[in-house]
A and B are shown apart, each in its own frame.
Chain A
Amino acid sequence: MADLSEDRGQILLIAAFAMAVTFVSLALVVNSAIFTENLASRGETSGSDDALVVRHEVQQSVGESIEYANTYNTSTDERQAQNVTESVATIRESIANQQAATGKMVVVEGPVDFVNGTRIRDNASASGSNFTNASTGGTHQADWAVAEEIERTRAFEMNISDAGGFAVTLQETSGGDRWQMTVIESSDDYTVEVSESGTVVGTCTVGPRQYVRIDVTGGVVGGEPCPHLQFGRGIDGEYDLFYNSSDDVTGNYSMVVDRDFVSTPANLTGTRADNDPYTTEAIYSADVTYRYDGPAIAYNTTVRVAPGEPA
């Protein structure tokens, strides 16, 4: 061996130092990777789901107040609007307080706009009556127009028994498209048949029962969803709503249409008669403004409330 001095090992030392630096940078890189994993596993941080949940809550609450006004305060549209406006003020307070507890600011204001409509109902006492129209000149008609030139219908429900081919028909006012729902009862089984412009698109049958509740705009028959029952599918623009063979059914019904024609009721009376359908003033829909401010989100919009409107 050569006689090396005691200064040997510089290269090793430099190398060791360089390696140390390399390892430190590797540690930094790995640290970044850990942070990435953390970021990747972050869930919903901004609270956009909460903004939509609260929006839905507002929609439900205002919807309830509209229904309340339509049911208990049927004198004039103005009175109903006043009633709903006061309810919205209460809803605003309670939702604002509730959300403030979790650090969010929610402001509901309005309603900024109302669409006045008409509620048409036949709520004969006991087990109901048939669905013929109000007596005109002492005669009832089995096939008659319930509402003409309307664009929307909501909360259309009926509770019926003994149906033998009773049908609800929507006919485009200035087009050829038609939508029809027929109810047939056979040994206490109820079948709802839906057809579009004469072609049957599907049927839904519910088992034996004394009466069946049909949510026409909601697509529910006897508590079971009926996928074929999509109210007014294929109908564009204004339409007329008819009843056919309405003497072949017994029960009650109620609906709200978006036309304010209580003053000139076509086929209908404005005063309640036990066995005949009648109309009352109703709010069809109301628009409220909604504002949601969370730590990472700001959302302002208008919420249209029309409870029971088909999707």
Chain B
Amino acid sequence: MNDRGVSSTLNYVLSLSIATLLVTGLLVAGGTFVEDRQKEVMRSELNVIGQQVASDINRADRLLTAGQGDTRVVVNQSFPKRITGSGYDILLSTGDPLDPSDDTLTLVSQDPEVQVEVHVQTEQTLVESYADSGVVVVRNRTGTNDELVITNG
């Protein structure tokens, strides 16, 4: 009998708190691990989607460059509405107008917020534009033969 002199209540409280501590530790570690994985996966997913949109822009750019006179180019591709449980936005931003490598696609997921940038280089001019998740369309801006925008299909 080695538990003599220890009240059963204390014993109970002790074992309960130790168990709680261990379990909480396990849950926190597990939760953080999953959250880290989620962010990592979102980052790579946004990266892949960004690169797909960038190559669509390049395809449209090639078609537009090959065209003469009045040209109309529409290239669309469907992407998942939500990635790992979160929606996302795609922003095509143009930096320095003289630097063609300064054009950037920025993809931002809503919850958790993960941001990824993909650079685009084109022959034609890119115009600042924006698209939601889903079907992303790359097209030349109505009425122009040398400007590309992204939009939703």
Residue A100 at the chain B interface, CB threshold 8 Å: no
- The residues of A that contact B142 with a CB separation of less than 8 Å are none
B52 CB, nearest partner CB in chain A, Å: 7
Q: Contacts A29-B84, A46-B77, A52-B63: A3 and B8 contacting too (C-beta < 8 A)?
A: yes
- The residues of A that contact B42 with a CB separation of less than 8 Å are 32
- The residues of A that contact B31 with a CB separation of less than 8 Å are 22
Residue A89 at the chain B interface, CB threshold 8 Å: no
Residue B97 at the chain A interface, CB threshold 8 Å: no
Q: Mark A39-54, 1 if CB is under 8 A from B, else 0.
A: 1101011101001100
Q: Mark A1-22, 1 if CB is under 8 A from B, else 0.
A: 1111000000110110011001
A48 CB, nearest partner CB in chain B, Å: 4
B41 CB, nearest partner CB in chain A, Å: 5
- The residues of A that contact B44 with a CB separation of less than 8 Å are 33, 36
CB of B34 within 8 A of CB of A1, answer no
How many Å lie between the Cα of A35 and that of B41 in the bound state?
10
B120 CB, nearest partner CB in chain A, Å: 15
B145 CB, nearest partner CB in chain A, Å: 9
> What's the interface size class on B, roughly?
35 or more
How many Å lie between the Cα of A44 and that of B72 in the bound state?
20
Closest to A294 in B: B75
Q: Which of A133-141, A143-151, A198-206, A296-304 contacts B (4 or more CB under 8 A)?
A: A296-304
- The residues of A that contact B34 with a CB separation of less than 8 Å are 22, 25-26, 29
B114 CB, nearest partner CB in chain A, Å: 12
CB of A28 within 8 A of CB of B23, answer no
- The residues of B that contact A36 with a CB separation of less than 8 Å are 41, 44-45, 48
CB of A45 within 8 A of CB of B77, answer yes
A196 CB, nearest partner CB in chain B, Å: 27
B136 CB, nearest partner CB in chain A, Å: 11
How many Å lie between the Cα of A297 and that of B139 in the bound state?
10
How many Å lie between the Cα of A298 and that of B20 in the bound state?
62
CB of A26 within 8 A of CB of B37, answer yes
Residue B119 at the chain A interface, CB threshold 8 Å: no
- The residues of B that contact A29 with a CB separation of less than 8 Å are 34, 37-38, 41, 84
Q: Contacts A12-B19, A29-B34: A298 and B69 contacting too (C-beta < 8 A)?
A: no
How many Å lie between the Cα of A11 and that of B8 in the bound state?
18
Residue A259 at the chain B interface, CB threshold 8 Å: no
How many Å lie between the Cα of A15 and that of B76 in the bound state?
47
Residue B81 at the chain A interface, CB threshold 8 Å: no
Q: Which of B54-62, B88-96, B99-107, B123-131 contacts A (4 or more CB under 8 A)?
A: B54-62
Closest to B48 in A: A40
- The residues of A that contact B76 with a CB separation of less than 8 Å are 46, 296-297
Q: Contacts A33-B44, A39-B49, A302-B70: A15 and B26 contacting too (C-beta < 8 A)?
A: yes
CB of B72 within 8 A of CB of A298, answer yes
CB of B85 within 8 A of CB of A28, answer yes
How many Å lie between the Cα of A142 and that of B145 in the bound state?
48
Q: Which of B8, B52, B59, B70 has the most CB of A within 10 A?
A: B59
Q: Contacts A3-B8, A32-B41: A301 and B80 contacting too (C-beta < 8 A)?
A: no
How many Å lie between the Cα of A298 and that of B42 in the bound state?
31
How many Å lie between the Cα of A297 and that of B59 in the bound state?
10
Residue A287 at the chain B interface, CB threshold 8 Å: yes
A16 CB, nearest partner CB in chain B, Å: 9
Residue B152 at the chain A interface, CB threshold 8 Å: no
- B: which residues have CB within 8 A of A? 3, 8, 11-12, 16, 19-20, 23, 26-27, 30-31, 33-34, 37-38, 41-42, 44-45, 48-49, 51-52, 56, 59-60, 62-63, 66-77, 79-80, 83-85
Nearest 10 pairs of A and B residues by beta carbon: A301-B67, A2-B8, A48-B59, A15-B23, A302-B69, A298-B74, A301-B71, A300-B72, A2-B11, A32-B84
A45-B77, A46-B77 given; 15 more Cβ-contact pairs under 8 Å: A1-B3, A2-B8, A2-B11, A11-B19, A28-B85, A29-B84, A32-B42, A33-B41, A33-B44, A33-B45, A48-B63, A299-B67, A301-B69, A301-B72, A304-B68
